Structure 1
């Protein structure tokens, strides 16, 4: 059990963010236990083809016996939506002593693989080699799919923001994950790690909640002294590996294929950016089609914070099975 103690100020500073580097590093665990990560297996099949002859043995060695990964490669995001290259640059600048400590912590309770043990004789060089490999691995396995994956993660962020706005922290944490409970300022996370009980006051450092597509249960940094962060399974993660459903042929014949694809995707409210990511077209093209669909009474729109969300009208629902 990991317990975070939050006061009123800490609750006010609780925020959400997503991290492409964290997704990349957590995805390494899928290769070790594909039978456990059933929802992610469709990605694994595609990623294996994308890798080709790339040797990722050193990256896979980072995953410890309890599926832990080094903290320096999963830092708390500094912004709501971060950039992979910027995050990797932070990892490249990490102090070599911390690199060594974090790698050993990830393998606590087990034996450090030989390739890591020999690499830690020169931790700065090992750090740089790992960063280079992660860049190549990201490009081959995740970058081609990132617009769709990011769309799922951002949808989770919007849902959580609405929960917080509707009912405060109690409603926010009520369905974050079954393993997470919140009562009297104490946020408890059940971890699948035996003999691990920690209590950490947040004390003004703020709490960051990070949805991810590559976990089945929530987790925290290995070192409780690191900035407080909880990763948790994103809502709708299974849909991340599925392409958008094809638009009905009759609808496409009526309004054209691009507009039909948009109407089919608007089974839930989405922004122009969401639709562009999901359908892999430019935001300007989406905006053009949405303007026509809105004028025809097929989509409605409403402002949510800084975003404008679009949704099908009742008329469009009759046209879209």
Structure 2
């Protein structure tokens, strides 16, 4: 059972060994975003950071006439948990939705026997016909993905990869303490122990050499979801990435006239847009310039030491250097 963490409550202490630190890794999960986004739609939390997304997606879902019941009835609101089998931890850094759906479709029947508050009736249906119900479930998820998530996935993926890049730099600079420093008040690191504020399941958890999987998630905001107790799954924390408040914004970032006078308007805008790491394609969309033109300007900014380039999988992300940060800050 995946549980939610809040800023108030008790604490679970996750004890790390040296092997756990060595095995701690990052991944993204398209399947988790589907499940978490349906939870957002069910909760009616349209006044939050995802309001613009919800307002755009609801009419599209209505027009598509999708029957989300097989998925929706497995997501209890306001119960603060999600069935673990529904969101298995990704085994690779960037799995496709198809890969994750294949894992879901192959869920062993014994993993459907766990009880989850608020969705027991739906679990009974799954247990009665695992193959048939899992096939229907994956078909619904695939259809929902095409309407509600796929059009926004490139910008979501860029946000996730930028967050992972930033945290990898923090880990290189200051180890585990620096890595967990800015996860917010729900998570703190102290002497080899990660303390997570959670609604329930308090006490001490040992990772037993499995490490911790860290998954940035847009639709987890403002919560942290954890799966720390099951022996069947990799211990996992799903958390809101840095810059989540800008995910659905459409307007350009403000650009200093003084900076534009030195660098030129386009390069100054690009530097301003790199408040968080981004790809050439994402930047081209934001400033309405061709990808080739953006690439030329980024090459110039990189040669001047104002931006750096980092490959993550098949995507190259650009980030401001310390010199670039100081120019924008000024």
Normalization by structure 2: what TM-score?
Answer: 0.78
Q: Which moved more, 1:271-280 or 1:73-82?
A: 271-280
Q: Provide the rounded CA distance (Å) in 1 between the counterparts of 2:287 and 2:102.
A: 30
> Which of 50, 68, 71 is 1:56 aligned to?
68
In the other structure, the counterpart of 1:180 is: 187
Q: Unpaired runs of 5+ in structure 1?
A: none
CA positional deviation for 1:263: 5.0
In the other structure, the counterpart of 1:16 is: 26
> Which of 78, 91, 102 is 2:91 aligned to?
78
Q: Unpaired runs of 5+ in structure 2?
A: 1-10
- How do residues 121-270 of structure 1 correspond to structure 2 at under 5 angstroms? 121-193=128-200, 196-215=201-220, 216-221=222-227, 223-225=229-231, 226-245=233-252, 262=270, 264-270=272-278
Corresponding residue SS for 1:39 = coil
Q: Is the contact made by 2:71 and 2:141 (CA closer than 8 Å) also made in structure 1?
A: yes
- How do residues 101-140 of structure 1 correspond to structure 2 at under 5 angstroms? 101=113, 104-105=114-115, 107-108=116-117, 110=118, 112-113=120-121, 116-140=123-147
Corresponding residue SS for 2:215 = strand
Q: Is the contact made by 2:160 and 2:216 (CA closer than 8 Å) also made in structure 1?
A: yes
In the other structure, the counterpart of 2:318 is: 309
- How do residues 82-93 of structure 1 correspond to structure 2 at under 5 angstroms? 82-93=95-106
Higher RCO (CA < 8 A, seq sep 6+): 2
Q: Provide the rounded CA distance (Å) in 2 between the counterparts of 1:310 and 1:144.
A: 24
Q: Provide the rounded CA distance (Å) in 2 between the counterparts of 1:64 and 1:182.
A: 31
Residues 1:275 and 2:288 aligned together: no
Normalization by structure 1: what TM-score?
Answer: 0.80
CA positional deviation for 1:292: 6.0
Q: Is the contact made by 1:303 and 1:309 (CA closer than 8 Å) also made in structure 2?
A: yes
CA positional deviation for 1:275: 3.0
